Amino acid sequence: MTDLTLTGVSRWYGNVVAVNDVTMSIRPGVTGLLGPNGAGKSTLIAMMAGFLAPSAGDIRLGEAPVWRNVGAYRDLGLVPEREVSFSYLTGRAFVQASAELHRLADPRAATARALAEVDLVDAADRPISTFSKGMRQRAKLASALVHEPTVLLLDEPFNGVDPRQRMHLMELLTRMGEQGRTVLFSSHILEEVEQIARQIEVVVSGRHAASGDFGAIRRLMTDRPSHYVVRSSDDRGLASMLMGLTGVRSVALGRVGTGEAITVEVTDMGEFTLSLPRLARSAGITVRELAPSDESLESVFTYLVQS
């Protein structure tokens, strides 16, 4: 009951495909679901949590399907991105309601334990309407944890949480992974995912673009052709020399932004960064500007999808 298995899962809304033929298996430990905004992460998590019917394919927790099977929630905890609107309840009442709905033997004790786990004991008896974003996030987490699920799904849990609480949350998720639970969280920030996830699943435009440990994902993301814009005192002269490098795939002269510049497509970043100053100096050319033109995470994701 600890593995979440997706087989050929797609979801479309009319003509729009939100998730396209995703097959993956989420196992014990912390898994990061990485992708840009609008990639279909929330749709995937909603389907994994049994709150969205896949248009095609199959999602199972252990052997049992999750859609239209409320029994699955005995083993599954969900921390949705959605805010808690039970603002008139205290944090403790909110978590205890969850404990009671799970028919736990001792809801009061389970509530106290979950609140201690997320470090929300001091503020627990205040109404949720007075909570900060980070405290709400922890209240949601406590309510999802109260029945000690073997699988925990979190949708963008670090959004809007301050750095100190973010660190605390990360420690908590790491600890839960070490306890042998299956923890899956989504994020659009690579650094966040790298810090705690052993396994990373990348989704871009609804497709499963890459899968592996963070080292493999990092290599995929850095060993890609990248583009640089160079401005110098003699663009044409420098361009002809750059073309001689094996780590350079193409060089173009032309207008970039406000003035003329060289656009270089580089396949070996190490060689390029070492050679450029050497070549320029030997030819007496002054380099005025060197800037990557596509360093955003979005372009990294785009590359992953194309490859």
Partner 1 sequence: MNLTIMRLALQALVGQRRGLVILALPVLLVALAGVLRALTGEPVSANAVVVEVGIALVVPLVALLAANGVLGPEIDDGSVVYLLSTPVSRYAVAASKFVVAAGVAAAAAVTGLMGATLAGGLSGRWVVVSVVVGAGGAVLYTALFSAIAAATRHGMIAGLVYVTVVESLLGRFLGGFRYVSVRAFAERLGEVAADVDLPVADLSTSYAVVASLVLLGVGVGGAGWRLARFQLRGDE
Contact positions vs partner 1 (CB under 8 A): 18, 37-43, 46, 49-53, 68, 70-71, 73-74, 76-78, 80-86, 88-89, 94, 97-98, 100-103, 140, 143-144
Phi-psi region of 284 (alpha: psi -120 to 50; beta: other; left: phi over 0): left
d(CA 134, CA 138): 6
Nearer to partner 1 by C-beta: 147 or 231?
147
Return the amino acid letter for 140.
K
Nearer to partner 1 by C-beta: 103 or 164?
103
Nearer to partner 1 by C-beta: 20 or 263?
20
- CB contact set of 169 (below 8 Å; sequence gap of 6+): 137, 138, 141, 157, 158, 161
Nearer to partner 1 by C-beta: 57 or 225?
57
CB of 27 to partner 1, least distance (A): 21
- Kind plus residue range of the DSSP H or E element containing 70: none
CB of 282 to partner 1, least distance (A): 51
CB of 102 to partner 1, least distance (A): 5
Q: Are 198 and 177 in contact (CB under 8 A)?
A: yes
CB of 23 to partner 1, least distance (A): 20
d(CA 61, CA 72): 7
CB of 142 to partner 1, least distance (A): 12
d(CA 155, CA 276): 44
Nearer to partner 1 by C-beta: 205 or 211?
205
